[in-house]
Amino acid sequence: MEFKDSTVVVTGGTRGIGRAITLAFAREGAAVHAAYLCNDDAARSLIDEASGLPGTVSVFRADVSTSEGAIGLINSAAALSGHIDVLVNNAGIIRDCYLAMMSEDDWEAVIRSNINPLFHCCKWGLRKMMGRRRGSIVNISSISGLIGTPGQANYAASKGAVVSFTKSLAREAGPMGIRVNAVTAGMIKTEMTSSLKQELVEKVLKGSALGRIGTPEEIADAVLFLSSERASYITGQALVVDGGIV
Ligand code: NAD
């Protein structure tokens, strides 16, 4: 019950890694507000799955790459308890293609969807944390942003930006008692990776120390640790959770 009385916002929180993060916080007693873009069935099934847990889960349909969506999300989360303790920026997309063939739309969609939510959600989330001089932000990045992946120039650029954004904001928010970290995930079993070429997945996993794909719950554990008091002296870090790929 480490997060009892805490209000937690998770973007992309009804599916994949975000869903595991939402449920992990609810298991620890938090009131979790999960944002999602369009899949109402996934949102409903999350509410069902969370019933009976010590914490609560509510869902909010919003496009967090827009200021309207992010403001709506942050305000509705703050209305639950008057404050926000933890913000997890997890929403993201891929549109893989070799650069020579990549459309402008594939470039812009990935840059917009993976970077703009950081700007909007952190800006409005910080405003709710600043008054209390406490809070934690965790942004989900990818090892693509550290080492690069062929066919993912757009995605790698956006996820590298997540790390540099995290480090800058940590310096800005630290004096206000707010910590900002990133989790740099490796290959994790979700709908996102099921759309990747299986030979690419196998090749990456073969070269890793543990030799297996990760689970969304293994990312959620790292997010909970970085959000918790046990990480009270950790900020500006990008924790690599990848089974030893990097
Ligand atoms: P997923 O596709 O299963 O889930 C992504 C979620 O984000 C979906 O619920 C989607 O609706 C939501 N989303 C996307 N854009 C949004 C927007 N503008 N507004 C609101 N919601 C939005 O993917 P996942 O594998 O669970 O990935 C979650 C995060 O982890 C992403 O940022 C992804 O880049 C990152 N990541 C994933 C892996 C992996 O192997 N799966 C590896 C490294 C990093």
What is the token pair recorded at 108?
Answer: 């812009």
Angle of the 104-130 helix axis to the 67-81 helix axis, nearest 10: 30
**Rounded distance, CA 116 to CA 77, Å?**
19
Number of CB atoms found within 10 A of residue 233's CB? 6
* Arithmetic mean of pLDDT, 5-26: 98
CA of 18 from ligand 1 middle (Å) equals: 7
CA of 113 from ligand 1 middle (Å) equals: 10
Domains of the chain (ranges; CATH) run 7-241 (3.40.50.720)
Nearest CA to ligand 1 atom 6: 12
pLDDT digits (tens, 9 = 90+) for 182-200: 999 999 999 999 988 888 8
Nearest CA to ligand 1 atom 41: 188
**Rounded distance, CA 66 to CA 25, Å?**
26
36 in active site? no
Residue list, ligand 1 pocket, CB within 6 Å: 11-12, 14-18, 35-37, 63-65, 90-93, 113, 117, 140, 142, 185, 187-188, 190-193
pLDDT band at 219 (very low <50, low <70, confident <90, very high): very high
Q: Measured on CA atoms in the order 104, 107, 111, 113, is the torsion positive or negative?
A: positive
**Rounded distance, CA 154 to CA 142, Å?**
12
Q: Where would I find the H helices in 91-238?
A: 104-130, 144-147, 153-173, 191-194, 198-206, 216-227
The contacts of residue 164 (CB under 8 Å, 6+ apart) are: none
Q: Which one of the listed residues 36, 98, 155, 233 is annotated catalytic?
A: 155
**Rounded distance, CA 231 to CA 169, Å?**
17
pLDDT band at 57 (very low <50, low <70, confident <90, very high): very high
